[in-house]
Amino acid sequence: MSNYENLKVWHRAVDLAVSIYRLTQSNKLFVKDFGLKDQLQRSSVSISSNISEGNELGTDKQAIRQFFIAKGSAAEVYTQLIISCKIGYITEDDCKYYLNECKGISSMLINLIKSRSIE
């Protein structure tokens, strides 16, 4: 198992991306909205991808940069979910769940960044 696979934040980000894919592929409104659906999928995949990329790079400085990019992707997903909720693509309860996941991942990334900054 690679180092990043030991990170809880990576697992949580992967789970979020899988959940986003399932949501956007099964929801008739998302299926017809290629722009929002594709952007939501891409940005959700970007979170875990940047965590793994950062953890595999040679230095903490490079890793931290990628973790910040992952955090930015989490903010993108957050915003896209708010838009999806406001236009009626997802329920209020689903929106709260996904937004909470984004906030949790973002918080975990800050902690990961801090831990890499100390070393």
Q: Please give the sequence-ordered ranges of beta strands (E in DSSP) within the chain, or none if there are none.
A: none
Which domains does the chain carry?
3-118 (1.20.1440.60)
CA distance 112 to 58: 16
- The predicted pLDDT at position 119 comes to 53
CA distance 67 to 93: 28
- The predicted pLDDT at position 31 comes to 87
**pLDDT tens across 40-70, in order?**
999 999 999 999 999 998 789 999 999 999 9
Q: Quick one: tokens of 57? A: 């790079």
- The predicted pLDDT at position 58 comes to 74
- pTM (2 decimals)? 0.93
- The predicted pLDDT at position 1 comes to 45
DSSP letter assigned to residue 1:
-
